[in-house]
Amino acid sequence: MTLLDVQDLTVDFGDGAVVDGLSLSLEPGDRVGIIGESGSGKSLTALSIIGLAPDSATVTGSVRWNGEELLGRSDRDLSELRGDDITMVFQNPLNSLNPVMRVGRQVAEPLRLHQRLSRGTAAARAVELLDQVGLPDPANTSRAFPHQLSGGQRQRVGIAIALACQPALLIADEPTTALDVTVQAGVLQLLRDLIADRGTALLFITHDVALVSGITDRLLVMRRGLVVEEGPTTEVVTAPRHDYTVELIAAARATALDEEERVG
């Protein structure tokens, strides 16, 4: 059964569509990427799917989760879905984490809210999750505040929170942009391993061709709110059909060559 079925999704702020008639679907275990430059509408697509588009936006079309329409539902209804069946890892973990709450409590919170675990059981499970995402000394880390961790460690905490309730769909919105290349590789490998182990579907949002090639099976290319190309990731990257996709890939290759020359 189709988990997520998005048809003709349009997001408009009154002066033209920022997302214009986007359609996509995900089955259990699918790994789908959306790629495009800043302002292409890719992140707004993700936010609109889970009911987090700005209040000033008009969102139309259809977003069905397990056959049930999500557009038009109350935030209270959607909040029960978010953090349980559908979760999200955001671009900047420092902004997405509560700065005055210890990270263990933040990992435990969805377990208490959605799975009704006791405080003690949720706390113990939080330490287990911090261990699973590769954080050192997870019991001690659980007592830390976000500012006491590195950027890569904070992103791992965000992944632990997102996967705490074993969601059917994980949306990752530019999850490694704020990290250096070495840390990026570790976080991506972690995501690959964890979603494979759990059979979680993935919607991966990025501007980076190299990243999307390593983690998705299917790819949508967005430009100015429109999907200009889509298909299996390998085919889109190796034999792009749209001029914009060709430009994206050429720019990514030039950047990679520059980096190799700099390091070399």
- Which residue's entry shows tokens 């006491």? 148
Q: How many CA atoms lie within 13 A of 200 on its CB side?
A: 28
Tokens of 220: 């949508």
As a whole number, the mean pLDDT across the chain is 90
187: helix, strand or coil:
helix
> What was the pLDDT predicted at 262?
62
Question: How confident is the model over 57-105, as pLDDT tens digits?
Answer: 999 999 999 999 999 999 888 988 888 899 999 888 777 899 999 999 9
| Lowest-pLDDT range of 72-76, 227-231, 235-239 | 72-76
- Which residue's entry shows tokens 């290759």? 253
Q: Which residues contact 70 (CB under 8 A, 6 or more apart)?
A: 49, 50, 51, 63, 64, 78, 81
Question: How confident is the model over 31-70, as pLDDT tens digits?
Answer: 999 999 989 999 999 999 999 999 999 999 999 999 999 9
Q: What are phi and psi of 127, to 5 degrees?
A: -65, -40
DSSP string covering 149-178? S-HHHHHHHHHHHHHTT--SEEEEESTTTT
* Predicted structure pTM score: 0.90
Helices 151-163 and 119-132: angle between axes, nearest 10 degrees: 130
Residue of 188 and 22 predicted with greater confidence: 22
The residue extents of the domains of the chain are 4-263
CA dist 207 → 89, 106, 141, 183 (Å)? 16, 29, 31, 17
> What was the pLDDT predicted at 95?
79
Report how far residue 213's alpha carbon sits from residue 116's, in angstroms, rounded to the nearest whole number.
38
Bridge-based pairing state of the strands 169-173 and 86-89: parallel
Rg over alpha carbons for the chain, rounded to the nearest Å, is: 19
What is the architecture, at CATH level 2, of domain 4-263?
A: 3-Layer(aba) Sandwich (3.40)
**Whether 61 contacts 7, CB under 8 Å:** yes
Closest CA to 42 of 153, 185, 205, 214: 205
Tokens of 219: 């790819």
Report how far residue 171's alpha carbon sits from residue 46's, in angstroms, rounded to the nearest whole number.
7
Confidence of residue 184 (pLDDT cuts 50, 70, 90): confident
| Res 263 pLDDT > 90 | no
